[in-house]
């Protein structure tokens, strides 16, 4: 199934001026991947790019019924400390996802890296939004690269 799966990783902050362009590129990329047999899309449930990617898959699923959204979440209490509007959006995505996987029960040191490695280990393609070369996104893209995944950067 790995060969039919793509994961998403990206920054939590997307500049407002770039948002529409990234959203359009993301939609075109998912359609292109779908036409090449990628039907499963794994997102990590974080704010920013993960949320945009998950919402895009759900929107495209109305047209491309084979698309599947799998949320790979670091822990059950991921939204602890989030703003109410962000939690509401997260819950709506979670309820519409085809599958939800928790890599840890509760937040603990390393649970985000564990989630990121799981995303990559189950995929053949990594669609990212990477503008910085440090932090969780950089770690995940580097991990994907060293494990032979095709990398497609929306930035």
* Domain boundaries along the sequence of the chain: 2-153
Distances from the Cα of 109 to the Cαs of 8, 60, 75, in angstroms?
22, 35, 11
- Supply the mean pLDDT for the chain: 97
> The tokens 């990477």 sit on which residue?
130
Is the pTM higher than 0.75? The answer reads: yes
Q: What is the band of 9 on the pLDDT scale with cuts at 50, 70, 90?
A: very high
pLDDT (0 to 100) of residue 91: 97
What pLDDT is stored for residue 115 in this prediction?
98
Q: Is 54 exposed, middle or buried (0-12, 13-18, 19+ CB in 10 A)?
A: buried
Structure tokens, 57: 């898959």
Summarize the confidence of residues 51-68 as an average pLDDT: 98
Cα–chain center distance at 70: 9
Q: Which of 17, 14, 27 is nearest to 61 (CA)?
A: 27
Paired tokens of 91: 């819950």
- Looking at the structure, give the CATH architecture of the domain made up of residues 2-153: 3-Layer(aba) Sandwich (3.40)
């Amino acid at each position: 199934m790995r060969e039919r799966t793509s994961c998403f990783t990206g920054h939590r902050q997307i500049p407002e001026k770039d948002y529409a362009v990234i959203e359009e590129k993301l939609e075109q990329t998912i359609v292109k991947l779908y036409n090449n047999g990628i039907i499963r899309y794994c997102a990590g449930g974080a704010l920013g790019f993960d949320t945009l990617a998950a919402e895009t898959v759900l929107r495209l699923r109305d047209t491309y019924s084979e698309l599947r959204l799998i949320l790979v979440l670091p822990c059950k209490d991921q939204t602890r400390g989030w703003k109410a509007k962000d939690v509401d959006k997260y819950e709506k995505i979670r309820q519409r996802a085809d599958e939800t996987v928790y890599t840890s029960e509760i937040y603990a040191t390393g649970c985000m890296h564990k989630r990121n490695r799981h995303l990559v280990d189950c995929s053949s393609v990594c669609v990212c939004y990477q503008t910085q070369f440090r932090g969780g996104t950089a770690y995940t893209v580097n991990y994907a690269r060293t494990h032979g995944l095709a990398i497609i950067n929306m930035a």
